[in-house]
Chains A and B, each alone.
Chain A
Amino acid sequence: MTATDTAGATGTVATAAPAPAADPAATAAALALGDDALVLAQRLGEWAGNAPVLEEEVALANIALDLLGQARVLLSLVGDEDELAFLREERDFRNVQLVEQPNGDFAHTIARQLYFSTYQRLLYAALASGDGPLTGLAAKAVKEVAYHQDHAEHWTLRLGDGTEESHRRMQAGCDALWRYTGELFQPLDGLGLDTAALEAAWLDSVTTVLTRAGLTVPDAPRTGAWRAGAGRQGLHTESFGRMLAEMQHLHRSHPGAAW
């Protein structure tokens, strides 16, 4: 929001990229987490100029920028950030299906943010306390995602416990996205995470917020016909290809150009 923040966003992430991680499992994990952040940043970028209040224009763009910053660091661990973002096909992306889900209404976006930022905060907190290849990134990112989670939780409360209509919409958002949450806890090789513990903490945190908001915790399976883990294997939902077409079009139209 300030010139200084902008400077951070435009800094030297690309040129000062650390050397690619040597461990292939860690590289795969960095790619998966980088894709999560990139794809969600892209979705949030679609809100610009469309938010319900000006304060949310600022907040959603701010969250998108944080995620894009994380994506750039993570992808740079794997290779060239722009090649990875703009020249891979849909089947090569490793993000979870949750983050590629279309924005829907504001409640749908908030439900996606609640589920994902809770996951990211627990994940990065665990990574930050370890000594793996992503510890440094995680230590910085955990501060950002704590803010994202706070933002999502406050809106979940306002919408869940606001008007009848907002309650209905928030419940619908939570229900519709529930099936994509199981995938978050598929083991990611190379990170040494206790995914069962992560999942238990996630369920606990999300249940607490939904309950406080007067919402019902969805009583449905947390995986769908595309089983949990499908996104991590490059199997995505239909809207994802269209999202990539828009994101990659210009870059692909000018092969080898610098921007």
Chain B
Amino acid sequence: MTAGTAGTAVTAQAPGAHAADAAAQAAREAVFDAAVAADERIEPRDWMPEAYRASLVRQIAQHAHSEIIGMQPEANWITRAPSLRRKAILMAKVQDEAGHGLYLYSAAETLGVSRDELLDKLHTGRQKYSSIFNYPTLTWADVGAIGWLVDGAAITNQVPLCRCSYGPYARAMVRVCKEESFHQRQGYEALLALSRGTEAQHAMAQDAVDRWWWPSLMMFGPPDDESTHTAQAMAWKIKRHSNDELRQRFVDIAAPQAETLGLTLPDPDLKWNEERGHYDFGPIDWAEFWDVLKGNGPCNDQRINQRRRAHEDGAWVREAAAAYARKHTGQHGEAQA
């Protein structure tokens, strides 16, 4: 909160200092740096470096887009879920994801961009979403594997973001993480039911885990020595841990869970390393990662096309709602005049 107060104080002097001189600029930077160093939250009205703002817009928007695109691979199974209980769980989950998208777009809007602008960037490929959603859901077990692995990886990434230096993002993450961990447990439970079910169900679960394991590890982003944004994001306390640290943390949690599930992970090099106190694991296929990121994954075109189509097909609905609102605020205004 000190950041807010101090920031406001500096802003209050701003009108007097029309041509902000170097000293005022340095003072603002010092206040910002001190707030970040003291683990205080930066709030929307606080002064912040333009690069900090841009970096947050990029990250929060990409996060919001991932929630929205991430609805598709799971919604693919809503109409085919094998029991009414599973259908209800899946519907509720996809609904939550739309809700997470809404929180995150709101958080991004506090930085001075609009949801429409961000959606436009998604639709035109100028902003990205998580590479994981470019993989197809081919069987029902994929829904369980996504819950366990993809949501598990997302939570590992997002829990530290609850302490992110930007207040609105951190607060959105608190809400998102609560719901995500709920989904993750449900995904794990769905896979467990399959693993302990018939032979065909067990095989279905194993096949899904085989296909989703490596893409889930890729969700943590490129290795630390190739991650362009990490150093600055960590200095600003947007990120708290490096990609490789989080990836290791996820493997350490998931490996014993796989054993409990009675499923194997598709990595011959995976084994506990007593000395390090961590699991060792095999090399990631970074060529595939970059290829998917560049748009050449199995579902990149399909995902973005569906999103564009929903948006374009819905244009007349949004126009109608806007026209109705104009007419009726108009009438209201006239009535008052």
Contacts and interface: CB of A to CB of B under 8 A. Distances in A.
Given A163-B319, A259-B83, A54 B68 contact: yes
A68 B83 CA distance: 11
Interface stretch (B1-9, B84-92, B123-131, B149-157): B84-92
Nearest to B310: A50
Contact of A61 (B83, B91, B140, B324): B91
Contacts, number: 172
Interface in B97-143: 98-99, 101-102, 105, 140
B320 A57 contact: no
A65 B88 contact: yes
B310 A52 contact: yes
A126 interface: no
A46 B85 contact: no
A162 interface: yes
B186 interface: yes
A52 B314 CA distance: 4
B92 A251 contact: no
A145 to B, nearest CB: 17
Interface residues of A, number: 59
Interface string B318-330: 1111111001000
Interface in A5-58: 5-7, 9-10, 13-14, 38, 42, 45-46, 48-58
A48 B91 contact: yes
Interface stretch (B44-52, B73-81, B286-294): B73-81
A48 B102 contact: no
A48 B72 CA distance: 8
A105 B312 CA distance: 12
A250 B80 contact: yes
B98 A57 contact: yes
Given A6-B93, A62-B95, A162-B324, A46 B79 contact: yes
- In the complex, which range does the number of interface residues on chain B fall in? 35 or more
B299 to A, nearest CB: 13
Given A42-B79, A82-B84, A169 B94 contact: no
Contact of A65 (B95, B309, B313, B318): B95
A50 B179 contact: no
A1 interface: yes
A166 B83 contact: no
B80 A249 contact: yes
Given A3-B178, A53-B314, A81 B84 contact: yes
Nearest to A84: B84
B68 to A, nearest CB: 7
B88 A50 contact: no
Given A51-B310, A52-B317, A52-B318, A57 B95 contact: yes
Contacts of A256: 198
Nearest to B101: A54
A17 B201 CA distance: 26
Given A64-B91, A65-B95, A250-B140, 10 more contacts: A1-B99, A3-B179, A6-B92, A50-B309, A52-B314, A52-B318, A54-B101, A106-B314, A166-B320, A258-B197
Interface of B: 68, 71-72, 75, 78-89, 91-96, 98-99, 101-102, 105, 140, 178-179, 182-183, 186, 190, 193-194, 197-198, 200-201, 306, 309-311, 313-324, 327
